[in-house]
């Protein structure tokens, strides 16, 4: 298949599917991963696709991110199981950062009764829970991102720059077995990176549907995290990749 034919085929497939990995495109095209990556660079320069960590998505796809309320009803049992496992890793006293996201909200439900704990967050739903909490709850300032109910932007980053955490609990919109964690938007990625940089330990949380489905903006390789809590069933090879990066994996089960 000639380059122009591949380009048209990639445009068509990405338009239909919304988002695909490099490996999936390579199978569709009968081409190597290297060839597909080169094609994606050229298509991105032409504005035809958006490259992500490990793949590509259609430009219109980034505008269809589901809202917080829709995400809140997805994979509820998995999120609760993940949250319970994470709560066991968090201190009774000290400072914890909780990221925005529905899984982190479930973590908040598990720990906000700890009187000697300070929870710092950019999540508006966690702040709402905080009105009845025994823990001390602190808001990171910033601009409201309505789709995720997260506080982001320069003010959030400025606040984070002056804080330190014993543990940061970070959520992701997508995960790649080789390249790590990603999200849908630059300002959220910046907050996640800043929180990890200010924490002695970073815990990544994500349910199985996100595994090997990277989002548009990478924010942390596996070496950014010390623990990954998920219900995804990783292969032995995938576990080995994470282990070499220094990440422990806690795979939870649920009904």
**pLDDT tens figures, 114-171:** 999 999 999 999 999 999 999 999 999 899 998 889 999 999 999 999 999 999 999 9
Cα 173 to Cα 195: distance, rounded to the nearest angstrom: 16
- pLDDT greater at residue 135 or residue 53: 135
pLDDT score of 73: 53
| Confidence at 79, pLDDT banded by 50, 70, 90 | very high
> 99 and 168 in contact (C-beta within 8 Å)?
yes
pLDDT score of 74: 65
Angle between helices 3-17 and 33-45 (to 10 degrees): 80
pLDDT score of 255: 76
The residue-averaged pLDDT of 188-206 equals 97
CATH 1.10.10.10 domain locations along the chain = 3-64
| Domain boundaries 3-64, CATH class | mainly alpha
> Is the pLDDT reported for residue 64 higher than 70?
no
CATH 3.40.50.1360 domain locations along the chain = 69-251
Average predicted confidence (pLDDT) for the chain: 89
pLDDT score of 249: 96
pLDDT score of 254: 86
Range from 113-127, 192-206, 209-223 carrying the lowest mean pLDDT: 209-223
- For domain 69-251, is the CATH number 3.40.50.1360? yes
pLDDT score of 22: 87
């Amino acid at each position: 298949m000639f380059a122009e034919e591949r380009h048209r085929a990639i445009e068509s497939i990405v338009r239909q599917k919304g988002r695909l990995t490099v490996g999936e495109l390579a199978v569709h095209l009968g081409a190597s991963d290297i060839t597909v990556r080169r094609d994606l660079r050229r298509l991105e320069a032409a504005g035809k696709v958006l490259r992500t960590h490990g793949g590509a998505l259609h430009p219109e796809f980034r505008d269809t991110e589901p809202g917080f309320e829709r995400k809140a009803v997805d994979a509820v049992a998995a999120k609760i199981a993940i949250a319970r496992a994470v709560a066991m890793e968090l201190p009774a006293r000290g400072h914890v950062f909780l990221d925005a996201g529905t899984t982190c909200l479930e973590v908040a439900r598990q720990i906000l009764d700890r009187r000697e704990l300070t929870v710092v967050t950019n999540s508006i739903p966690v702040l709402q829970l905080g009105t009845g909490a025994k823990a001390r709850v602190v808001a990171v300032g910033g601009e409201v991102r309505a789709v995720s109910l997260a506080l982001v932007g320069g003010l959030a980053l400025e606040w984070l720059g002056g804080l330190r955490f014993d543990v940061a609990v970070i959520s992701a919109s997508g995960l790649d077995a080789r390249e790590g964690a990603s999200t849908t938007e630059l300002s959220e990625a910046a907050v996640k990176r800043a929180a990890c940089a200010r924490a002695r330990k970073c815990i990544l949380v994500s349910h199985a549907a996100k595994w090997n489905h990277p989002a548009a903006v990478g924010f942390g390789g596996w070496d950014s995290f010390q623990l990954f809590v998920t219900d995804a069933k990783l292969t032995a090879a995938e576990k080995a990749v994470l282990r070499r990066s220094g990440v422990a994996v806690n795979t939870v089960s649920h009904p």
